[in-house]
Amino acid sequence: MNILLLGAPGSGKGSQSEQILKDFGYVQISTGDLLRDSLSRKTPDGLLAGEYMVKGELVPDDLVIEILRERLNRPDCLKGVIFDGFPRTVIQAEKLDAILEEKGEKLDFVLNIESPFNVLISRLLSRRVCSSCGKTYNMISNPPSGNKCSQCGGEVISRADDREDVIKNRLEVYTQNTLPLVRYFEGKNILISINGDRTVQDIYKDVKRLIEEREKN
Ligand code: AMP
C-alpha cells in the first residue's frame, strides 16, 4: 500500500511514520530527510535546496520531484511506502499520481493529521533531532538523556528551521500551498482526517487501526 501522511510541520508525521515502519514494515519517504541528506553531502541539489529550507520556503517542485522519483525506484519501495512531506503542492500531487500510475500503483489513502497552530509552534520549538540518525525528541515530552541519541549515540540538536520566525513562515507556506491538498484528496475520496492534538501514542492507535482495516480489504 502507498499511504500519505498529510499535516502541517510539527503535526507528528515523522513520529507516526516511525511506528508504522516498526509494525507494518513499510518504507518511509520523507523528502525533508532526503533534502537534508543531500545538503549535508553538499551536492549541488542539496546546496540549492538548503537556500530555501533555511527560510522555510518550499524547494522548487522540479528538484523535489526528481529526488522523489529516484528514491521510489529503489527496490525496497515494493513493500509499501509512507510518504511524509511529499506532496506539498497540487503540482507535486499530480506528479505523484502520474509516477505511481507508471508503476501500475496508486496512492491508497491519505491520513490528514490536524492540529491547532499554537500547538504546532510550541512542539516545533521544543523539538530536537539526532544529527546522525534523525530520531526525533521533544524537550518536554521525550527529552534526550545528556543530548545523546538513545538509538545511535549521535548528538541531539535543534533543526536549523525550528526557529520561531522560520516556523511561522513554514506554517504560512503550509496554509498557502499544502492545505489545498485536503480538497484535492477529498475529491478523490481517499482522505481521512484525524485529531493531531493528542499524544503520539493516542494518534497512533487510530493510525494503526485505519491501516489494518485497509490492509484487510
Ligand atoms: P520537513 O522535514 O518535511 O519539515 O521539510 C523541511 C523543508 O524541506 C521544508 O520546509 C522545505 O523547505 C523542504 N521540503 C521538504 N519536502 C518538500 C516538498 N515536498 N516540496 C518542497 N519543499 C520541501
Question: Does residue 68 belong to any structural domain of this protein?
Answer: no
User: How close is the Cα of 216 to the center of ligand 1, in Å?
Assistant: 32
Tell me how far the alpha carbon of residue 123 lies from the centroid of ligand 1, in angstroms. 17
Judge whether 12 and 203 are in contact, CB under 8 Å: yes
User: What does the pLDDT read at residue 15?
Assistant: 92
pLDDT tens, position by position, 23-78: 999 999 999 999 999 999 999 999 999 999 999 999 999 999 999 999 999 999 98
Whether residue 185 is contained in a domain is answered as yes
SS (H, E, C) the chain: CEEEEEECCCCCHHHHHHHHHHHHCCEEEEHHHHHHHHHHCCCHHHHHHHHHHCCCCCCCHHHHHHHHHHHHCCHHHHHCEEEECCCCCHHHHHHHHHHHHHCCCCCCEEEEEECCHHHHHHHHHCEEEECCCCCEEECCCECCECCECCCCCCEEECCCCCCHHHHHHHHHHHHHHHCHHHHHHHHCCCEEEEECCCCHHHHHHHHHHHHHHHHHC
- Portion of the chain with pLDDT greater than 70, in percent: 100
User: Which residue reads 520561531 in cell numbers?
Assistant: 164
**pLDDT on residue 107:** 97
Residue 154 lies in a domain: yes
- Rounded to whole angstroms, how far apart are CA atoms 13 and 183? 19
Asked whether residue 92 is assigned to any structural domain, the reply reads: yes
pLDDT in the model for residue 37: 94
Sign (positive/negative) of CA torsion 144, 118, 192, 104?
negative
Cβ–ligand 1 distance for 56 under 6 Å, the answer yes
Position 172 in a domain: yes
User: What integer pLDDT is reported at residue 181 of this predicted model?
Assistant: 98
Cβ contacts of 205 within 8 Å, gap of 6 or more: none
Q: Answer yes or no: is the C-beta of 93 below 6 A from any ligand 1 atom.
A: no
Please state, rounded to an integer, the average pLDDT across all residues of the chain.
Answer: 96
- Is residue 50, in this structure, part of any structural domain at all? no
Query: What was the pLDDT predicted at 79?
Result: 83
User: What is the predicted pLDDT for the residue at 217?
Assistant: 80
Does residue 137 form part of some domain?
Answer: yes
Measure 217 CA to ligand 1 centroid, in angstroms.
32
Residue 139: is its pLDDT beyond 90? yes
Q: What is the rounded distance in angstroms from the CA atom of residue 165 to the CA atom of residue 138?
A: 19
Which domain does 209 fall in, by range?
A: 2-26+79-216
| Number of domains the chain contains | 1
List, for residues 72-89, the tens digit of each pLDDT value.
999 999 889 999 999 999
Rounded CA-CA distance 106/2 in Å is: 7
The pLDDT assigned to 31 comes to: 97
Decide whether any atom of ligand 1 lies within 6 Å of the 10 Cβ. Answer: no
Classify residue 46: in a domain, yes or no.
Answer: no
Catalytic residue among 36, 71, 127, 135: 127
CATH number at residue 169: 3.40.50.300
Does any ligand 1 atom lie closer than 6 A to the CB of residue 59? yes
Is 88 a catalytic site residue? Answer: yes
Amino acid at 174: Y
